[in-house]
Structure 1
């Protein structure tokens, strides 16, 4: 009888982690591949190792689940991104702040030009102006002449009234079908600036991320892996490859979601604070009743304010690759510079010349499989450095625990080295290091719930019956995508009411999710 299995992959900036699980979440195999030779190369190496492990095993591969930092890294290195033309619909926006005015200088360069045309709506649905189709055609010509490679369309109150955005998108697809289009209404939210930022970033990412995702499917095919590929989105559930290519912004925070879900499932605790340390940063996240806590104060990536729901996390520039210096009076300084994915060549433990936080863990005897003869740091100094690292995290925890005073702390990834140091600083707290903590992110990816979302505009005069019907539609959609019916439930319900509507009209977004 063939064993049913699944593969989880978490692609970070430093390492690619992979775990092979049975469908009841037993880990059969796990590996961590450094990305110093390129992210795609690390994915190929990880999948090849998995393929070789599975060769003698009679198995049925049900799916590969992949979460990545592709989108975040691309925004931080915007020279890889496509040039975006922006079309604003609404004459009132002509005197508004320009698109991307808060963007960092390098990222702002992706905006090639902007055109503002008549159209748009007020909050009650009344027209600001009728849509001017001639102006839309002229705007397309203007932006193409400027070198536009992708287009972002933003209309006033388009989250409620998307008709004008849809009409302009159709015109672009008719006259310039090679140009990818992002309509802001797909990304939700009534706040114009954050919705515009999200649309611009998504438009800039589409072609770059599509190429990356297609390269992964090519690797799968070369290894004979013909199972479905599920992409992890910001809430820790899956979206299809097609949706990930159209809306890559939805995958931008998959990494923290993977770690949070993996930590919860490995520890079997559904309400906790999770700490994950990677090569360059430490992330503190929160899980409540089995779901990653979402950010309520807005979200931002690469210093850009967005309106994309994502896990609520606190990030610190402290990772295994963080460069450590010790002052003349013995005071340790950790980071913010990091060797990142070059740890295997630059760290002292591997024969390099740079002292890193990882080296301190080695010198303190916390990595028994690695005894370096090239370390120039004593165990006492190493312990002092690790205590300082734990103190930095403890300071952040002090704020995080105000609303969660009795929450356990789960350590995964590189944070496991700090367990004894953190425990000494917060002795009244239950600190957990689960088995397989080093690959919690890949485990979390493999255990991601498969989702189905209904996004529609409807009357809510018969509110309960309408919502119940839409919830059933979302459940059906999740099951059709591969979720088991008995594990499927509603995980999110968003209702955006229309202003001054006689029939209680609203945009309703409902998501259901269940396990493979």
Structure 2
């Protein structure tokens, strides 16, 4: 048996699964500290299913802890950005395009040193070790506690980043170090930005992971604990301590994977309507389509693995207002996790989308008498506004004129009508309200390679095979069953402006989680 948990802005969902069977589901209110909400969800799941904790072989959690901390610029460690690229790259220093408030939150410590590579592995400049040691000593004087090291074209050669990390460890063993070649893709500024964000979250990551493990342990469950990643795969808690940015989009990704599982559709659009936002993405071969361009997170451009998702402020907790022009506005502001306190049907004084759904009799929740004053015309206009917003986002996500099938998931999925303009069909499978937790429970383990290769004549197949094998090896190293790993995506992009038949090759492999027993892997404790 597995337990899947997904923490959203409004609700924390949990499911108990035995293979492909859903045995029990729970939807509870997300708490301000998040962790106590997980404890409550596990308690309710045990009560509802008469679960024996000893039968649980793994717990998978998707959490909003880390993205919330970044957006709120809260609990970020004083962080230094150490770039290896001089005499190049000096014109655009680290954090050059960051919001001022976020620069201040991490301390804004920037260091440029000699080093880095060309795309073909030739050095821009030799590493100046004395220069790096001086920078580390200055970091210590300024109270830095975490370091982000980035080098030009480090995905091609990580030699300088690795050596710089050794020098930092020798001078200041207590500093947490993040290396850009382990986090982002090609593109120095975006990869460096992702690495700085990761470094700033490292301290908090250790505390959060310990808290999640303690929550699972308190429920009497001593099974391995995994966290969901942005690409729909899993990572062990030790990996989450090192790479907290890998969890940023786990919420919508879990919902999309759950939608594929519940509907049986591998290629479709997914509309996930939660309490605060609606996330719309596209499934390709059962996995979320990844963003092909940079992704902006909290005002910062990054390029690590993220699903191609558009989010709008529309959910069950969205505020509903009548406009002076006679129309109806829904969102983008929301009561969030205060829904059960503030919404009309729960005794509050705020009109929300949930109240509209209850008035329209598409949802039976709370006290319907409290929304009887809403006119039929107002309720219909509000639902039409919601449908129009969702239709617009689906249309923006399409890459072909074909009308896509749509799978609706999420606790507020009842707000989506059974027919949408420009859509082939609308699917709503059983347990769609907790698809996010199901997506976490069924998640697999992945490995990816993204690199520029100079391809000599007649060597293309050999280079591709080597990249595929490396992706498989990375998946197995992350915990995948070596007998059940497959290549799910291969992308080749020739780069005409670089010499030597340069080609960017990206390969992704996924496999089922290897569990040899109830205490295999990284046990929560």
Note the C-alpha offset of 1:471: 4.2
Alpha-carbon distance between aligned partners in 2 of 1:473 and 1:192, rounded to the nearest angstrom: 23
Question: Match for 2:61 among 63, 66, 80?
Answer: 66
Of residues 392-401 and 63-72 in structure 1, the stretch that sits farther from structure 2 once superposed is 392-401
- How many angstroms does 1:510 deviate by? 5.2
CA distance in 1, matches of 2:410, 2:401: 22
- Structure 2 distance, partners of 1:447, 1:257, is 12
Alignment partner, residue 510 of structure 2: 512
Kept after mapping to 2: 8 A contact 1:293/1:311: yes
8 Å contact from structure 1 (residues 233, 254) kept in 2: yes
Q: Which secondary structure state, in structure 2, belongs to the residue aligned with residue 90 of structure 1? A: strand
Q: Secondary structure of 1:374's match?
A: helix
User: Matched residues in 1 for 2:452 and 2:321: separation?
Assistant: 57
Change (3 A) 1:400 1:451: closer
Count, aligned residues? 508
14-23 or 472-481, larger mean C-alpha shift: 472-481
SS of the equivalent of 1:491 reads strand
Matched residue, 1:406 = 403
Matched-pair contact (CA < 8 Å) for 2:405–2:423: no
TM-score by length of 2: 0.89
Q: How is 1:263-302 mapped onto 2 (pairs within 5 angstroms)?
A: 263-302=259-298
Q: 1:112, 1:146 within 8 Å by CA — same for their partners in 2?
A: no
Partner SS state of residue 201, structure 2? helix
Q: Secondary structure at the match of 1:219?
A: helix
Partner of 2:85 in structure 1?
90
Superposition deviation, residue 7 in structure 1: 0.7
Deviation track 1:442-473 (CA, whole Å, cap 9, x = no partner) reads: 01110101235578999977654565466456
| Partner in structure 2 of residue 348 of structure 1 | 344
Which residue of 2 is the match for residue 335 of structure 1? Answer: 331
Q: 1:27 aligns with which of 22, 26, 48?
A: 22
Distance in 1, matches of 2:450 and 2:381, equals 53
Match 2:381 to one of 384, 387, 390: 384
What is the SS of the residue equivalent to 1:488?
strand
What is the alpha-carbon distance in structure 2 between the residues aligned to residue 485 and residue 169 of structure 1? 31
- Cα distance, 1:61 vs structure 2: 1.3
User: 1:492–1:111: structure 2 CA closer, same or farther, 3 Å change rule?
Assistant: farther
Unmatched tracts of structure 1, length 5 or more: none
Per-residue deviation, 1:364: 1.2
1: CA distance, partners of 2:9 / 2:510: 30
Change (3 A) 1:412 1:512: closer
Q: CA deviation at 1:300?
A: 2.1
* Residue deviations 1:15-41 (CA, integer Å, cap 9, x gap): 111110111x11111111111343111
Match in the other structure for 1:441: 436
Contact 2:66 2:245 in 1 (8 A): yes
CA distance in 1, matches of 2:164, 2:63: 32
SS in structure 2 of the partner of residue 87 of structure 1: strand
Map Cα deviations across residues 201-241 of structure 1 (whole Å, 9 max, x no partner).
11111111221111111122223311111211111011221
Separation of aligned partners in 2, 1:102 and 1:77: 18
In 1: Cα distance, 2:503 partner to 2:428 partner: 49
Partner of 1:114: 110
Aligned to 2:179: 183
* CA distance in 1: counterparts of 2:450 and 2:292, whole angstroms: 21
Tell me if structure 1 keeps the 8 A contact 2:155–2:451: no
Output the CA distance in 2 between the equivalents of 1:454 and 1:469.
Answer: 10
Please identify, of 92-101 and 12-21, the stretch whose mean Cα deviation from structure 2 is larger.
Answer: 92-101
CA-atom RMSD in angstroms: 2.9
1:238 aligns with one of 198, 214, 234: 234
TM-score (norm 1): 0.90
SS at match of 1:330: coil
Distance 2:442 2:291 in 1: 22
Tell me the CA shift for residue 156 of structure 1: 1.4
Mapped to 1, the partners of 2:42 and 2:221 lie a distance apart of 9
Task: For residue 349 of structure 1, report the CA deviation from its aligned partner.
Answer: 1.5
> Is this contact kept in 1: 2:179–2:195, CA < 8 A?
yes
Equivalence for 1:6: 2
**Could you say if the C-alpha distance between residues 59 and 224 of structure 1 is closer, same or farther in structure 2, counting changes exceeding 3 Å?**
closer
When structure 1 is superposed on structure 2, of 225-234 and 258-267 the one drifting more is 225-234
Mean alpha-carbon deviation: is it higher for 89-98 or for 467-476? Answer: 467-476
Q: How does 1:52-63 map to 2 (within 5 A)?
A: 52-53=47-48, 55=50, 60-63=55-58
Superposed CA deviations along residues 75-98 of structure 1, whole A, max 9, x for unmatched, are 101121112111111223563223
Deviation per residue, 1:416-438 (Å, 9 max, x gap): 22333x61x42762111111110
Residue 197 in 1 paired to residue 216 in 2?
no
* Partner SS for 2:55: strand
Higher alpha-carbon deviation: 490-499 or 6-15: 490-499
Cα 1:150–1:59 change in 2 (3 A) is: closer
Does 2:208 match 1:212?
A: yes
2:390 aligned residue: 393
1:189: Cα distance to partner? 2.3
Q: Which moved more, 1:65-74 or 1:429-438?
A: 65-74
Any conservation in 2 of the 1:273–1:410 contact (CA below 8 Å)?
Answer: yes
Change (3 A) 1:163 1:326: same
Return the alpha-carbon distance in structure 2 between the equivalents of residues 469 and 196 of structure 1: 27
d(CA) in 1 for partners of 2:264 and 2:331? 33
Mapped contact 1:152–1:200 kept (Cα < 8 A): yes
